[in-house]
Amino acid sequence: MNKDFYNPVEGISRDELRKLQYTRLQKTIASALNVPFYQKAFKALGLSASDIRSLDDIIKLPFTTKDDLRNNYPFKMAAIPLKDCVRVHSSSGTTGNPTVVLHSKNDLDAWAELVARNLYMVGVRDTDVFQNTSGYGMFTGGLGFQYGAEKLGCLTVPAAAGNSKRQIKFMKDFGTTVVHIIPSYATRLAEVMAEEGVDPKKDLKIRILAIGAEPHTEEQRKRIEELLGVKAYNSFGMSEMCGPGVAFECKEQNGLHIWEDNVIVEIVNPVTLQPVPDGEIGELVLTTLNREAMPLIRYRTRDLTRIIPGDCPCGRTHRRLARFQGRSDDMMILKGVNIFPIQIEKILMGYKELGSNFLITLETISNNDEMTVEVELGELGTDNVGDLKDLVKDITRKLKDEILITPKVKLVPKGSLPSAEGGKAVRVKDLRKLF
């Protein structure tokens, strides 16, 4: 068994881990009860801290939602005095008040440790040059990875988002070996490299990518790995928990170890809110175990995933989350069918003839809700329109098999759809007339 862990806690027994979780849960509850929101929530359930006698009693605790965080904007979720907080991060807040997350000095240290742990797990060492293409500022992907990579001792390149030519120049000149990047931007960057005559396999030293912040498919990961000649590892985080670092893939590339010394993991049925057994898909619910400034109890992440049952060959005992199946709020309902953009992406990525950008448009055409999927053609492999029409037919059939609805599929030229330059690509346009 490989015991080359950044932190010995990665390999402790499940029993020890559960004991540690219970001790830390009691601390989290005590600290949360400094927050009026939790005082009220406990009171409403007739619950006191002493009712939680074991880890299994967690199901007695109240849930916390994104709306709860919004309603307590900006600092009403703080469990410690503001003078002991040293940083605030927030979500974009496109739909109302942003969600705000406060950090103490210890919170930031613990967060950096998680990120360092993740990077170490996939083979990053202090000899590596780490380039971060995330936006800095309020978005946690910037500073989160920055401090983690510094803690590990990497030479860090805080390149931040966008400006592809400059990114590639830094990669070349600084000998970048590790890059944190969102998947759609990784494919975009590969395109710019081709345009600039840079062969990533010969001209660059990149060997590891940390990819995350955007749902993506196994096909897309494989494509990125092939395009750039790297190993790409999935990263999962959310600002409400701290940011990146919450869960990360090991070298097995089969699920993301979620650090259970840092959070308690539950997967619940999003409708009944009852826990589902390991292996079944549900909404990820997390309880923080190390947070001082803003402890969260049973936070509903809206991310749909499942626990991969069984032990990981890498020897880490912390359970693995499967690839995310989308978010409960990304879900489109068309003709009564629930559809996630990632289902469509998965099919499109299976075609080597297609590029990586696509756009789903939902619109009402003569009182009927219709879906159009526009996708960019990659390289042209034919001089015949007939071959392209066959391609469209084949894509349409495969999509119908996956989502049970027949979309209109349109091939469009490269560069005509929105791509992700540092941000998340717009994949769905809903123009339906809703009554």
Closest CB 9 distance from other proteins, rounded Å: 49
Tokens 């559809």, located at residue: 339
Contact call for residue 383 and other proteins (CB under 8 A): yes
Site size toward other proteins (CB under 8 A) is 19
> Sign of the C-alpha dihedral, residues 145, 147, 153, 154?
positive
Figure out which of the listed residues 412, 421, 428, 432 binds other proteins, where binding follows CB under 8 A: 412
**Tokens found for residue 94:** 């496109």
DSSP, collapsed to helix, strand or coil, labels residue 227 as helix
Our CB check for other proteins shows the closer of 223 and 306 to be 223
Beta carbons within 8 Å of 42's beta carbon, 6+ residues apart: 33, 48, 49, 62
- C-alpha distances (whole Å) from 177 to each of 132, 181, 206, 229 are 11, 13, 4, 12
Our CB check for other proteins shows the closer of 271 and 385 to be 385
Our CB check for other proteins shows the closer of 336 and 413 to be 413
Closest CB 396 distance from other proteins, rounded Å: 13
Contact call for residue 389 and other proteins (CB under 8 A): yes
Q: Using CB under 8 A, which of the segments 141-149, 179-187, 308-316, 384-392 binds other proteins?
A: 384-392
**What ranges make up the beta strands (E) of 366-424?**
368-377, 408-412
Our CB check for other proteins shows the closer of 33 and 377 to be 377
**Tokens found for residue 258:** 């979620």
Q: Is the peptide bond before 277 cis (omega within 30 degrees of 0)?
A: no
Closest CB 427 distance from other proteins, rounded Å: 20
Closest CB 195 distance from other proteins, rounded Å: 7
Contact call for residue 416 and other proteins (CB under 8 A): yes
Measure CA 254 to chain center.
15
Rounded to whole angstroms, how far apart are CA atoms 363 and 23?
52
Closest CB 380 distance from other proteins, rounded Å: 4
Contact call for residue 377 and other proteins (CB under 8 A): yes
Figure out which of the listed residues 413, 431, 434, 435 binds other proteins, where binding follows CB under 8 A: 413
Contact call for residue 384 and other proteins (CB under 8 A): yes
Contact in structure between 261 and 240 (CB atoms under 8 Å): no
Q: What track of x and - describes contact with other proteins for positions 189 through 208 (by CB under 8 A)?
A: ------x-------------
Our CB check for other proteins shows the closer of 398 and 414 to be 414
Q: What are phi and psi of 319, to 5 degrees?
A: -65, 165
Q: Using CB under 8 A, list all residues that contact other proteins.
A: 195, 377-385, 388-389, 410-416
